[in-house]
Amino acid sequence: GAVTSERWLPLREVSPRDLPAYLIEMRAAGYLLVGVEQAAGSVPLQSFAWPSHGRVVLLLGNEQSGVPQPLLPLLDACVEIPMLGVTRSLNAHVSGAMAVWQYVQQRGRHTGA
């Protein structure tokens, strides 16, 4: 169940202070840095082309203020979840789950899974 999911999906929580260095380190290791944020140039989640190599760092922002502005230039891309209505935000765990689901759906189409 969900209690043991961390055994199969590499998750890492990084302190806000350490995020810039961590993102730079991960890019150097070949990861694509993708933020879930409504920003200039954001791509709708369902239209984003996830990399075929599968190496992605998914950056989720604070539920009230989003991804910190100084981190946006470090990202390779931002995806946004289109929403209707007045409220323009989702809980971070919901946004993360939707992004991971979209990634898995697209990867399944490319790998024949």
Identify whether the C-beta of residue 58 lies closer than 8 Å to the C-beta of residue 79.
no
List Cβ neighbours of 77 (8 Å cut-off, separation of 6 or more).
Answer: 32, 33, 34, 35, 43, 48
> What value does the mean pLDDT take over residues 37-41?
88
Residue 17 clears pLDDT 60, i.e. is over it? yes
Residue 39 clears pLDDT 70, i.e. is over it? yes
Q: How confident is the model at residue 34 (pLDDT cuts 50, 70, 90)?
A: very high
Round to whole Å and give the CA distance between 34 and 75: 6
This prediction has a pTM of 0.82
pLDDT at 12: 77
Buried b / exposed e over 86-97, threshold 16 CB at 10 Å, is: eeebeeeeebbe
